Chain A
Amino acid sequence: MEYTCIVCPRGCHLTAEKVIENGVEKINVTGNFCPRGVKYATEEMTRPMRTVTTSLYVTGGDIAMVSAKTNDTVPKDSIDEVLKEASRVVAKAPVKVGDVLIENVAGTGRNLVATRNIKVKA
């Protein structure tokens, strides 16, 4: 299988194939500039993972929205559920980068965390 690596702006063109080595199934990746490409292509072949970023409404803050991300990648097929949960939550100022806005979001085992500071509205 061929993939475009999405880990960094370089966008390596990756080729991944399943091989049997000593009776054990293994995924061989080529075309990667760094080890992150191997992880990415292996996951694409088994279970694709993505970081989800979005923004949530915030009350009492000096701006209307707080941006957020999953603190690690989540399965690609859980993205819709993550976004749905995020749309139902309203954060409360003050917020700091890294604050957990939703714990174990959509049952992924990851947290949705704030990616900016929000001060209380003066």
Chain B
Amino acid sequence: MIKEVNTVIVGGGPAGLAAAVAAYDEGERSILIVERDTHLGGILQQCIHNGFGLQWFKEELTGPEYAQRFIDQVEERGIESVTGTMVLELQYHPENKPYDKSVMCLSPEDGVLELRCKSAILSMGCRERVRGNLKTPGTRPVGIFSAGLAQRLVNLEGVMPGHKVVILGSGDIGLIMARRMKWEGADVKMVCEIMPYSSGLARNIQQCLIDQNIPLYLNTTVVDIHGKDRLEGVTVAEVDERRNPIPGTERYVECDTLLLSVGLLPENELSKTLGVEMDRVTGGPQVDENRMTSVPGVYACGNVLHVHDIVDFVSKESMIAGRSAAKYNTKTDEEKSEEIAVKAAGEVRYTVPQRVSLDEPFSIYCRVGRPVGAGKYVLKAGEETIFERKFIKAVPGEMAELPVKASELEKIKASGAKELTLETVLA
């Protein structure tokens, strides 16, 4: 079956939902959200803890409540969505203008479904790194789960993955699951972190570990896995500054469950089928300030673009993508403003967007590569300094938003520079 839709949104999590609402509010009425799960809401459905929405809704919500607010907004507007539907491939056929993108889906009702659209929004989110990504030696027993999978089992399916738990990785999901498993009666023995610091939020160290009397071992990792059918234990060891295990520091920890919270990877297989230009640092597409990828009319937002620390930023970013897609649908001319690149330097690991057109004021989002103390972000156009923004501290886990004001935009234009550089100067 072939259908024509102006905007197709791939993924009905927080990014896709916000993008849909924004596209609708910009005037677009032909929108379809395609979701592979049975329900809309994405990963927020299983993030049952609170702490979401303080920025966006100005109140503290749990993940499912945050999702429900956006689902309600989608439903109030009568925006169409299909669930249980998997997108297999994205295609770009410039000769088929204006419906020059094809979203190939498998639907339980329609079988193979081809959605032809003017604009597509990539909002597929991210995936967890798993044991295979770590290359941890040892046997291959049952009992090794990614933290997010365990979260789904416990919170949505009502199944406990195990009872004696070691957690590797102290990112927020690992910390949240340490408390969750403890609250469900498990013996959570420890959280190990290979780095000298936790990438999780300070509040989660407090409420998920310190409150629960769960020890956190820094500079420590799992070096061996034991057990034939079911996991019986792991060997943990301290690591040196090059993250190599230090001989003699190994110790055996009995456990039947190992949860891995060792990073997230934007899920871009579909983006790649389309041939969008990728950013090797973020693992997501390269985008302009409207969140448009290198393929005209294809936008990306949320964790598929770069992994976010808080969902409120995802909503904000996705609104930009949704509005832009709606505007794109009504555009008739081919003219595209000239763009200049935004480069990361110093402690700045990456920026989003990676290129900007200078048509309107925009914000640069960035992250540092390691924890640093006080300093300032400096945006330069060529040799000229456009702005300086101070920070008290910067950590890899927290994204910074740096708005470029109208007056600063004029400065950039006047400089005639072909490239912007965002760097750090430490105090």
Contacts and interface: CB of A to CB of B under 8 A. Distances in A.
Interface of A: 3-9, 11, 13, 50-51, 53-55, 57, 62-65, 67-69, 76, 79, 83, 97, 115-117
30 contacts: A3-B206, A4-B205, A4-B206, A7-B60, A7-B203, A8-B203, A9-B51, A11-B202, A51-B60, A53-B49, A53-B62, A54-B48, A54-B183, A55-B154, A55-B156, A55-B158, A57-B158, A63-B38, A64-B156, A64-B158, A65-B155, A67-B45, A68-B48, A69-B48, A83-B183, A97-B64, A97-B65, A115-B61, A115-B64, A117-B68
Interface residues of B, number: 33
B316 to A, nearest CB: 14
Interface of B: 38-39, 45, 48-51, 54, 60-65, 67-68, 154-158, 183-184, 201-203, 205-207, 211, 309-310, 398
Given A5-B203, A6-B207, A53 B68 contact: no
Contact of A51 (B39, B50, B68): B50
Contacts of B211: 50, 76
Given A65-B157, A67-B62, 4 more contacts: A9-B398, A63-B38, A69-B48, A115-B48
Contacts of A9: 51, 54, 201, 203, 309-310, 398
Q: Determine which residue in A13, A62, A67 has the highest number of CB atoms from chain B within 10 A of its CB, and name it.
A: A67
Nearest to B41: A116
B202 A4 contact: yes
Nearest to A5: B203
A63 B156 contact: yes
A37 B174 CA distance: 25
A4 B211 CA distance: 11
A50 B51 CA distance: 12
Q: Determine which residue in A3, A51, A115, A117 has the highest number of CB atoms from chain B within 10 A of its CB, and name it.
A: A115
B75 to A, nearest CB: 11
Lowest 6 CB-CB distances: which A-B pairs, in order? A11-B202, A116-B64, A67-B48, A6-B203, A4-B206, A11-B203
